[in-house]
Amino acid sequence: FELEQDLRRAIDNGELWLAFQPQLRISDGTPIGMETLLRWDHPTLGAISPAKFIPVAEESGLILPIGEWILFEACRHAAKWNRGREQALRVAVNVSAVQFQRQNWPRLVEKALLASELAPGCLELEVTESVVMQHIDAVAMRLRALKALGVQLAIDDFGTGYSSLAYLKRLPIDRLKIDQSFVRGLPGDAGDAAIARAICGLAVSLDFETIAEGVETAEQAAALLAMGCPEAQGWHYARAMPAAEFEQWLHKHG
């Protein structure tokens, strides 16, 4: 409860801020986009991990106004960074289960795109495997409504849930995000390698793109590229950064 009270106040006090983690093409290191990650600088406790406060935000319903703010800010920043850029960047926004179930996402997205003037194809929504596999018919309909707006859809933490492959094929999904737990052991761990390779194979068969998260070494990146995964994010390339720092990073890395 205490954290919930603090979170309420955090919104008004501007203690929440967005970090952006670059996403790159592995083959040549070209920046292709960024994932938006929420951060909270608590006045006395310091930085609190989203893994800890997002559940509080979900239980209290605070995730709804916070999530709306995140979407609008992410679109606003991406539109600004894309001005005058030859290759437009795509901005990924996490949408948690509560957000997806309780809010009218097509309407929110329409408003955010309109306000920011971001090209629809430059916005990517990340939903988790568990969200997509619950109430599947209703979810499929809602995903199709989002897809009709021209945005991209990704399944986050892919491989950690229990996807019905037959069902997955019928969803308007653009991209699978290979969970970092399978990236960690690359290239040496036979189990991780088998799973990462299987996800890449599945993606080719079902016509999905792939991106790997949590890439920390050049060896991991090379292994992923060899498996057919073209894109990555992770500390090997860059950490999540505040907007101003991200902008400087972009200037340096093209």
Contact positions vs Mn ion (CB under 5 A): 94, 126, 156
Phi, psi (deg, nearest 5) at residue 6: -60, -40
CB of 84 vs ligand G, minimal distance in Å:
27
Q: What angle do CA 177, 208, 119 make, to 5 degrees?
A: 80
* Candidate segments 155-163, 167-175, 192-200, 216-224, binder of Na ion by CB under 5 A: 155-163
Phi, psi (deg, nearest 5) at residue 151: -80, 165
Binding residue for Na ion (CB under 5 A) from 124, 129, 157, 192?
A: 157
| Residue closest to ligand G when measured from CB atoms | 234
Binding residue for Na ion (CB under 5 A) from 124, 156, 192, 231?
A: 156
User: Which residue number, 6 or 129, has a Cβ lying nearer to Na ion?
Assistant: 129
User: Which residue number, 170 or 189, has a Cβ lying nearer to ligand G?
Assistant: 189
d(CA 85, CA 72): 20
* Candidate segments 73-81, 136-144, 152-160, 161-169, binder of Na ion by CB under 5 A: 152-160
174 DSSP assignment: -
Examine residue 231 and tell whether it contacts Na ion (CB under 5 A): no
Dihedral Cα 95, 96, 97, 102, nearest 10 deg: -70
- Could you tell me the CA-to-CA distances from 138 to 81, 107, 133, 144, 229 in Å, in that order? 35, 16, 10, 10, 30
Q: Which residues bind ligand G (CB under 6 A)?
A: 21, 36-38, 49-51, 54, 70, 94, 96, 156-157, 180, 213-216, 234-235, 240
Residues in contact with Na ion by CB under 5 A are 156-157
